[in-house]
Structure formats: C-alpha cells, structure tokens
Amino acid sequence: MTHLYDPTLVDWSRAQFALTAIYHWCFVPLTLGLSFIVAFMETLYVKTGNEEWKRITKFWMTLFGINFAIGVATGIILEFEFGTNWSNYSWFVGDIFGAPLAVEGIMAFFIESTFVAVMFFGWNKVSKKFHLVSTWLAAIGANLSALWILVANSWMQYPVGMHFNPDMTRNEMTNFWDVLFSPVAINKFLHTVSSGYVLSAVFVIGVSAWYMLKNREIRFAKLSILVAAIFGLITSLFIILTGDHSARLMAKHQPMKFAAMENIYQGQRKAPLVVFGVLKNNNTDSLAKEDFAFKLEIPNILSSMAFLDANAYVPGIKDIVQGNSEHGIISASEKIQKGKIAIQALSDYNTAKKAKDFDKEKESLSVLNANYNYFGYGYLTDAKQIVPPVKLTFYSFRIMVALGFWFVVLFILVLIFLFRNRLENRRWFFRAAIISIPLAYLASQLGWVVTEVGRQPWVIQDLMPAITAVSNINVGSVKITFALFAIIFTILLIAEIKIMLKQIKIGPKDGGNE
C-alpha cells in the first residue's frame, strides 16, 4: 500500500479486467434467466403430461447448456485476475472479498454442476419429479453463484462488516452477515439477476419470433413466447422497483456516482430528472459543467427519487469536490488531507511498534482509526481525481433505462397479440423481437458501465483507488495477455453464436438428451 504504480500499468490492468468482465457477462445473464424459464417449462410438462412441453423444454435446455459451458471458462479467468493483476487489492481485502467467492465455489458451484448433469443426462434415467427437482436446483444453483459474486462486488461499492488490522495492513471481516445482508448487496443481487431474467425472456421471444417469421414450429414458438413474455413482464416490473431503490442507495452511499449519472454539477433542491438529454460540451476540466444542447426533464422528480422528498437537496459534482458546509459536505481536499494523516499514522504505528514505544503506538493507532474512513483519499494527488467520466455514465444510464422500457412494451404487445390471437403475420413485430436480442445484451452491459465506471477512481469506495490496487508487474506482459484474452474470448463468443445458430436452425426435436 506504499507504492503508486505507472498509470499505464493501471490503465492496461483495468482494460484487461474490463475485457474479461464484459465477455463473461455475455454469458451469465442468459444462464440466470434461461435456467428458470426451462424449469417453468418442465413444470408444465410434468403437470400436464403434454409431450410438446417436454420437446420445448429440451430445446431451450440445449441452448442453456451451450451458453453455460462457454461461460464457465471466462468466469474462472476473471477470478484468477484478482491474484495476477490486482494482488495489492487481494492482500488488502482478501479476507473479506475471498469469503463470498469461496462460498460460491464450495456451495453454489457444486449444486449447480451436479444438478446440471442430471438435467442433461437424466431423461428416462430418473423419475419425472426427480428430474424436475434437479432442473429447479440447477437454476437455483446458478443464481446462488451470482449471489456470492454480487455480494463481493457490492462490498466494494459499500464496505461494511470489517475492521482494519494495522499489524497486517489489511482489512479483516468482523461480521459475515453484515457483508451478506447489506442493503447494497441485497438490492444489487435482486436488480442484477432480474436484468438477466429480462434478457433471457427477450432471447426466447426473439428466437421464437424467428421461427414465426420462417413459418416454422408455430405451436412451439407460441408456447415459448407465452412463457417468456409472462416471465419477462413480471421481472421487468420488479427490475423497475429495484432500480428505483438502487438510485436511493447510490445517492446515499455513492453521491459522486449519482451526480455524474445525472450530470449535476451544482447541487439543488427540487432537482429535476433529465429523462433524456444531449450534452454539447467537450470539457477537459472535470469541474466545468456539461451543458445540454437539448434535454427533456421532469421537475422535482430527482429529489423525490433520491431522498423521497421533493424539496431534498441533491449534491452536485462541485459540492462533493469543493465541499458545501451548509449541507455538511466536506471537500475532497480535506478528505485527501485526512487520508494522508491516516497513511502517516499507519507508518508511525509500525515504526513505534518496532521501537516498542507503546505510547506512540497507541497515539498513532488512535489517529489512524479517527481518519481511516478516508484512507484511500491519501493516495490521490488532486481533488478532481474523484470525478468519474460524466458523459459515459450519463448516457449509459439513459440508454439502459430506455431499452428497459422498450422491453416492457415488447412483453405487453406480445401478450396482447397472443390473447387476441393476432400474433401470426406480424412480421414487423417478429423483426423487432429479433433485433431486441442484441439490445438486451447492450442494456445489460451498460448497467455494469454505470456501476463500475461511475465509481472511478475507487476499487473499494473511499478506501482504495485503482492506482494502489494493481500488482507490480511489467506492463508489457499485461498488454500481451490483454491481446491474447481478446483473441480467445472473441473466438469463444463467435463459437457460441455459431453453435447457437446451428442449433436454432435445426430446431426442436423429439430425440436427444435421452
């Protein structure tokens, strides 16, 4: 924690991790949602005894299996990168961050992998009910895997349940349940898995729409669309609720991310919500306001959304950087000073301990504890460093939300068409449904852009900036592995798409998986 590394090394390490995460997230959301859709379909088969539902279940289960197998590879690499590229981070918080990852590996992964095997190879080898239970447990296992990963990520956004050990220079967990059940962790899990459910519903509708467009497997397509649309509509409404709660948590615990997401530079009461806007400036100064060339806004809504009070004061970027005594906001410069005091106190503590100067040791520890909440700020050199990329955060959030509302419309339209028996020959709708598949992936990725880009420069909010978290390795090796990963992941993605398309063209059949 005493060295600041080459900014080029930090940038390339971040780029490599982002690359891996982006590719990994191409596979995860479909796994989360499709597993439950398959479980619902198999439940209908077991309850009705209708062989058509078995046929439908097997088809979507096959696509689930293809996606699941390729997604595992990128996830393993992602976890290894914490040790290879981010070893200082792993040392500083490994006691906490490693716990949910260990639980994920020991419990969720084994549940998932065991029952996935029964799902695929247990047809006609176990009873219908046991196979159905296995399918449900595989879905639950997949989502439990996501739970522990998201708990770990949430802790980085809102660190709780821990204590800094100055003797080891690392954070140690004091309460596992605080980490697991923090409001940020609970909401992030519910919001993120819901986004996966929506994506999966759009995927099933889009693929089924292709069959309708080709005038193939009409009954199969209609039944698949029905299940996916109901599942998608319910989870879409739920994601709106969790998204609303996410905004309040962000405003409370990560006000800078919230200000950047909403392009608020000067704090205000009765803050309006910009539904959509076009930023016209190209600022190099992070404190220079990004003016709107055009905007559509709703008065007072942002204050209400963030604090459940239309008259509430929403801090802006300048408030957080420069401070605002009227509203109890201390400046970033003051936080940097407190952080430097904490770092110096840690150094003094270690020196006093070696010299067995117990009075100095006790005094240094008291100073460290008093200023530890700003520990990470001590490694910053300029208050403006806490301002994330505003334009990227602002646009990513709005495009994500706009696409989310389109998916709600998509689900409602398809249910109206189905119940009025007017779905066939809606060729424009089928094309729109197919195009919505990549849009769902885009929306899902943009959610992570807001989450991760919006909290820069922090790896752990307020405690550890990226410049202190990286491993002291040669930047050339990071560039080489970045290129290799980019090639390998692209090949994997192309392979999955080709295998998926081949399977979709083959279509559902009575055989297989026996």
Q: Mean pLDDT over residues 230-254, rounded?
A: 95
Residue 3 has pLDDT above 60, yes or no: no
pLDDT-derived band at 379 (thresholds 50, 70, 90) equals: very high
pTM exceeding 0.85 = yes
CA separation, residue 336 to residues 258, 348, 446, 463 (Å) = 21, 18, 31, 11
Most confident of 108-117, 276-285, 380-389: 380-389
Summarised one tens digit per residue, pLDDT across range 191-219 is 999 999 999 999 999 999 999 999 999 99
- Give the chain's mean pLDDT: 91
Q: What angle do CA 37, 39, 45 make, to 5 degrees?
A: 110
Three-class secondary structure of residue 274 per DSSP: strand
Quote the CA–CA distance of 385 and 458 in Å, as a whole number: 10
Residue 331 has pLDDT above 50, yes or no: yes
CA-nearest of 192, 210, 191 to 436 is 210
pLDDT-derived band at 4 (thresholds 50, 70, 90) equals: low
Tell me: cis bond preceding 272? Omega within 30 of 0 counts: no
Q: Mean pLDDT over residues 219-247, rounded?
A: 95
Quote the CA–CA distance of 471 and 469 in Å, as a whole number: 7
Q: Hey, which bits of 327-467 come out as E strands?
A: 458-460, 464-465
Pull the structure tokens for residue 98: 């490693």
Summarised one tens digit per residue, pLDDT across range 274-325 is 998 898 876 666 676 778 888 899 999 999 999 999 999 999 999 999 999 9
Return left, alpha or beta for 56; rule: phi > 0 is left, psi -120 to 50 is alpha, else beta.
alpha
Summarised one tens digit per residue, pLDDT across range 113-152 is 788 888 988 898 899 999 999 999 999 988 988 999 999 9
Q: Mean pLDDT over residues 23-43, rounded?
A: 95
Q: What pLDDT does 282 receive? A: 67
Burial class (CB in 10 A: 0-12, 13-18, 19+), 137: buried
Quote the CA–CA distance of 20 and 75 in Å, as a whole number: 8
Quote the CA–CA distance of 440 and 438 in Å, as a whole number: 5
CA-nearest of 384, 469, 383 to 156 is 469
Residue 161 has pLDDT above 60, yes or no: yes
**Cβ(338)–Cβ(367) below 8 Å:** no
Burial class (CB in 10 A: 0-12, 13-18, 19+), 325: exposed
Summarised one tens digit per residue, pLDDT across range 66-104 is 998 888 777 778 888 888 899 999 999 988 988 888 888
Phi, psi of 457, rounded to the nearest 5 degrees: -95, 15
Helical axes 255-262 vs 218-253, angle rounded to 10°: 120
Pull the structure tokens for residue 252: 């409370």
Q: What pLDDT does 286 receive? A: 65
Q: What pLDDT does 180 receive? A: 93
pLDDT-derived band at 510 (thresholds 50, 70, 90) equals: low
